[in-house]
Chains A and B, each alone.
Chain A
Amino acid sequence: EPEVTQTPSHQVTQMGQEVILRCVPISNHLYFYWYRQILGQKVEFLVSFYNNEISEKSEIFDDQFSVERPDGSNFTLKIRSTKLEDSAMYFCASSQSGVGDTQYFGPGTRLTVL
Chain B
Amino acid sequence: GENVEQHPSTLSVQEGDSAVIKCTYSDSASNYFPWYKQELGKRPQLIIDIRSNVGEKKDQRIAVTLNKTAKHFSLHITETQPEDSAVYFCAARDSNYQLIWGAGTKLIIKP
CB distance A42 to B32 under 8 Å? no
Name the interface size band of chain A: 20 to 34
CA distance A64 to B32 in the complex (A): 30
A69-114 at interface with B (beta carbon < 8 Å): 91, 98-100, 102-108
Which one of B12-20, B54-62, B95-103 is at the interface?
Answer: B95-103
Closest CB-CB distance, A111 to chain B, in whole Å?
15
B45 at the interface (CB under 8 A from A): yes
Q: Is A56 an interface residue (CB 8 A)?
A: yes
Contact A48 B97 (CB under 8 A): yes
In the complex, chain B residues whose CB is within 8 Å of the CB of A104: 46
Chain B residue total in the interface (Cβ 8 A): 23
Q: Which residues in chain B, 22-48, are within 8 Å of chain A measured between CB atoms?
A: 31-32, 34, 36, 42-46
A107 touches B43 (CB 8 A): yes
Q: Which residues of the partner chain B approach A42 to less than 8 Å between Cβ atoms?
A: 89, 101-104
B42 and A107 within 8 A (CB) = yes
**Interchain CB contact (< 8 A) of A44 among B31, B44, B97, B101:** B101
- CB-based contact A45/B98 at 8 Å: yes
What's the A-B contact tally at a CB cutoff of 8 Å?
Answer: 51
Q: Which residues of A contact B34 (CB under 8 A)?
A: 102-103
B100 contacts A45, C-beta separation under 8 Å:
yes
A43, A58, A99, A102: the one within 8 Å of B89 (CB): A43
CB-contact partner of A106 in B43, B49, B91, B103, under 8 A = B43
Interface residues of A (CB under 8 A from B): 33, 41-45, 48, 55-56, 58, 91, 98-100, 102-108
B residues near A, CB below 8 A?
31-32, 34, 36, 42-46, 49, 51, 89, 91, 93, 96-104
Identify the 9 closest CB pairs spanning chains A and B, nearest first: A105-B43, A100-B32, A43-B101, A99-B97, A42-B103, A42-B101, A45-B98, A107-B43, A105-B44
A99-B97, A102-B46 given. 9 additional CB < 8 A pairs?
A: A42-B89, A43-B44, A45-B98, A48-B97, A58-B98, A99-B98, A100-B31, A107-B42, A107-B43
